[in-house]
Amino acid sequence: MINLIYGIAGTFVLGVFAILFGLSVKGIDRKISARMQWRIGPPLRQPFRDVRKLLLKDNVLPDNAVPWIYNAAPIICLASLITILLFIPIGSIPAVLGSSGDIIVVLYLLIVPSIAIIVGGFSSGSPFASVGAQREMVLLISYELPLSMIIFTFAWAYSVLYPGIPALSFSTFEKYPIWNQFSPIGMFGVGIFLIIALLVTTAEMAKIPFDIPEAETEIAEGVFVEYSGRNFALFYLADAVKIVVLSAIIIAIFFPYNLSPWLSAYITLPHWLWYVVDVLFFMLKVVVLSIIAVTFLRTALARLKVDQIVRIYWFHLFIAGVAAMILIALDTMGVL
């Protein structure tokens, strides 16, 4: 009973936290992007205003839509992203639903938001949305391979270095940080994987240069062209939560460090306050990663074509990933 109450309360708190913080990150992203382009930009609270305005509008159901699928897609998209957060530690707070195979669960759940967007686009009956849904499928197929290479390479390395431990658990990455496991050669491979992970984050967010599913100037918002009102507000919230989720995954794998173990030797604070410090540090890392992976790229680059994106992920990043795998494997086996 206690575990059930903890799970329900944790889900509610994480959901509210992810939505509010994600909208704040969107505001920061828009403001920094505007400054980079010598514009004033919207106020930081503009994403909250956008959501409020959308929630006050009525849903418009297209004549050719499949109603129950069309209305369920945004709910599934947002719910699946919040569910992912239940498997990821936030600062020094352990994951609500952590388990030995939680990274595998996260990999599966990461597909669900894209599937929801695809199904929602097809169910709307719009030709623009159908083209956007097809592009979303291409994007999903493109970045899943490099992402899987990262996860399973690290899991194999941990299973060799620490036999018997749950190699696919975020708690393992927290206990044995990946940067501490290899020589400089292996760390170079980890650095390559970090760059790949950041580029996967940009594609997962469908931001420029990988925003082909929406492409306002080509297919008029694509998959979201027929969505409005509360349904579009849910997709908007899902987009905000997604940057928190993706950044949290990168943090849990590559930067699982907290301030409390270092500062507690010099500063005395109540135990509960250290959790607050670590959560604030986690939030800072999310903001920094979002600026690097989303803001800079979408401001500095133009939209790529579909074939260019496939080529980048299935050729260039695949080759880079294979090179990183070889470096980490040779280092793990003690060859280098």
Structural domains in the chain (count): 1
Cβ partners under 8 Å of residue 140, min gap 6: 111, 114, 115, 118
3-state secondary structure of 90: strand
Give the per-residue pLDDT at 56: 87
Instruction: Report the 10 Å Cβ neighbour count for 141.
Output: 13
Tracing tokens 């301030």 back to the chain, one arrives at 259
What six digits make up the tokens of 184? Answer: 């400089």
Give the per-residue pLDDT at 101: 64
Q: For residues 130 and 233, is the Cβ–Cβ distance under 8 A?
A: no
Helices 127-161 and 102-123 pack at an angle, to 10 degrees, of 170
Cis peptide before 74 (omega within 30 of 0): no
Cβ partners under 8 Å of residue 65, min gap 6: 123, 124, 125, 226
Separation CA 84–CA 95 (nearest Å): 10
Distance of CA 15 to the CA centre of its chain: 15
Q: For residues 290 and 249, is the Cβ–Cβ distance under 8 A?
A: no
Separation CA 62–CA 75 (nearest Å): 18
Half-sphere exposure of 133 (CA within 13 A, CB side): 20
Range of the domain at 301: 2-332
Give the per-residue pLDDT at 3: 64
3-state secondary structure of 61: coil
Q: For residues 234 and 77, is the Cβ–Cβ distance under 8 A?
A: yes
Separation CA 283–CA 255 (nearest Å): 12
Its pTM stands at 0.90
Per run of 10 residues, the mean pLDDT along the chain (length 336 residues) is: 69 88 91 88 89 86 81 90 89 75 84 88 81 81 86 89 84 86 89 92 80 68 78 90 91 89 80 85 92 85 77 88 91 74
Give the per-residue pLDDT at 100: 56
Please give the C-alpha separations between residue 271 and each of 150, 276, 278, 279, 284, in angstroms, as whole numbers. 35, 9, 11, 13, 21
